[in-house]
Amino acid sequence: MFGVDLRQVVAGILTLAMFVMLIHMIKRDHFDAVQDKLPGVTDEVSFESGKFDGTHVRKNLGLYKGDADELKACWVKPSDMGVQSEGYVTFSLTNGPEYHISQIADAVIVARSLGATLVIPDIRGSQPGDKRNFEDIYDLDVFMRSMEGVVAVVKNLPDQISTKNIAVVKVPNRVTEDYIATHVEPIYRSKGNIRLATYFPTINMRKAGKKGDTDSVACLAMFGSLELQPEIRDLVDSMVERLKTLSRKTDGQFIAVDLRVEMLDKKGCRPDNDGEKSCYNAQEIAVFLRKIGFNKDTTIYVTESRWDSSLDSLKDLFPKTYTKKAIMPADKKTKFLDSQDSELEKVIDFYISSQSDVFVPAISGLLYANVAGKRIGAGKTQILVPADIQDSSASASNFLSPYVSKKNHFAYSCYC
């Protein structure tokens, strides 16, 4: 019989054990984007607040799940516009793209209902004199083509019509045919031309009770008419690709967090009478993300334009946290950042938030509502609404936006 060298046997056993350990290490670091919730390894977390020292947060392997197949537009094409009147409807886009979407929809619905011609809007920022052309941000040709057969559109008001003689009419967001007939049409018939100003009594983006021609027009206007002009679209795409490159350890997946520091002190961010919160600061977002399972390798984009010291608590737990300034190509910063042009910055934030793998609205409001609409249409339904979690860990699926979990967003009237 052949002799057996005990040292060779021991070496073989050690080699096999090391191989098995290597396999487990590889599995532990891999995010499974297919399964929603599986038991994973624990990862020790020490929070600076001291409240959560020594807790273990379970790695949720389905954290980035939520991207369903992209839905298809299923709204019925609006019927051809009827008899046209001779009047015009003018308006401006204001306050950022989350407002633009709603303002466009209301203006198209009003103009179509009145049989009026819609004038391409200008875009106005928050500062006096901050005014630009529609095509500076959006693709004019795409918008004009989308409106063919729906409403008549002209680029400019005819020279013979003075803007001083146009009546200003306020309409609520999600304006209805009944409201137009009662409050808008009499003024239009009397004056001949009107200028719309949309106001937002509530942020209502839930589905309507029944579908009709107005809903079809709203679907088209909100989701089929506005596209970024090429330069801005290419910039957003390059920034998204940069974030994906920085996310190699999470298979190119990243989170966008709508967190604007200046908003946190405003009235809308204060807890209501029941103590319910609608806004969360950087530290609260950091704790929330760690407790639902995101680890230190997670890449986070925050909508705050420039670094603020209050974001340090987020970066302490998530070192790969970035603002626009950190990921924007150097040759674009002068035009899009150094000019202090908040309107362009809002556009970048809105569209990156619409394309991220996970979206976390630290601030409740219209940006959250209209980003949710665009994400639903694209099948990017992983929208996680923050909360104060009392336990040491929780499942991310418990914090899925009601817009998605209940399918009650207006976008579900437009896509299927």
pLDDT tens digit sequence for 179-188: 999 999 999 9
* Domains of the chain in sequence order: 88-224 (no CATH), 229-414 (3.40.50)
Q: Calculate helix-pair angle for 366-378, 97-114, nearest 10 degrees.
A: 80
- The CA distance from 25 to 183, in Å, is 66
**Residue pair 126/341 in contact by the 8 Å Cβ criterion:** no
Could you tell me which of 325, 324, 302 has the C-alpha nearest to residue 312?
302
Which pLDDT does position 272 carry in this prediction? 74
Provide the 10 A C-beta neighbour count for residue 328.
20
pLDDT in tens, 237-249: 999 999 999 999 9
- Helices 342-355 and 366-378, packing angle to 10 deg: 40
- Helices and strands counted in the chain (H then E): 14, 14
Find, among 151, 154, 145, 180, the residue nearest to 80 by Cα: 151
Q: Is 374 helix (H, G, I), strand (E, B) or coil?
A: helix
Higher per-residue pLDDT: 366 or 22: 366
**Rounded to whole angstroms, how far apart are CA atoms 347 and 366?**
14
User: To which residue do tokens 């009546």 refer?
Assistant: 167
Instruction: Report the pLDDT value the prediction gives residue 213, as an integer from 0 to 100.
Output: 72
Q: Which residues sit opposite 206 in a β-bridge?
A: 409
* Whole-angstrom distance, CA of residue 92 vs CA of residue 99: 11
The residue type found at 37 is K
How far is Cα 283 from Cα 308, in angstroms, rounded to an integer?
13
Kindly indicate the confidence band of residue 102, based on its pLDDT and cuts at 50, 70 and 90.
very high
**What pLDDT band is residue 56 in, cutting at 50, 70 and 90?**
very low
More confident residue, 210 or 282: 282
Looking at residue 241, its pLDDT comes to: 97
pLDDT > 90 fraction of the chain, expressed in percent and rounded: 62
Residue 122 has pLDDT above 50, yes or no: yes
pLDDT average, residue stretch 314-330: 95
Identity of the highest mean pLDDT range in 341-345, 347-351, 411-415: 347-351
* H or E element at residue 242: helix 230-245
pTM of the model: 0.81
Among 21-35, 327-341, 351-365, 371-385, the minimum mean pLDDT is found in 21-35
361-374 in b/e burial notation, b at 16+ Cβ within 10 A?
Answer: bbbbbbbbbbbbbb
**Mean of pLDDT over the chain:** 83
**Token pair of 415, please?**
């896509």
Bridge partners (DSSP) listed for residue 228: 138
Which range in 125-129, 304-308, 345-349 is most confidently predicted, on average pLDDT?
345-349
Tell whether the model's pLDDT for residue 7 goes beyond 70: no
Bridge partners for 358 per DSSP: 255
Asked if 354 contacts 375 with a C-beta cutoff of 8 angstroms, the reply is yes
First to last CA, the chain: 73
Q: How far is CA 227 from CA 25, 154, 164, 166, 223, in A?
A: 44, 18, 31, 29, 9
Higher pLDDT, 275 or 21: 275
Q: What is the pLDDT of residue 135?
A: 97
- Residue 264 has phi, psi (to 5 degrees) of -65, -25
What pLDDT does residue 100 have? 97
Position 296 pLDDT exceeds 90: yes
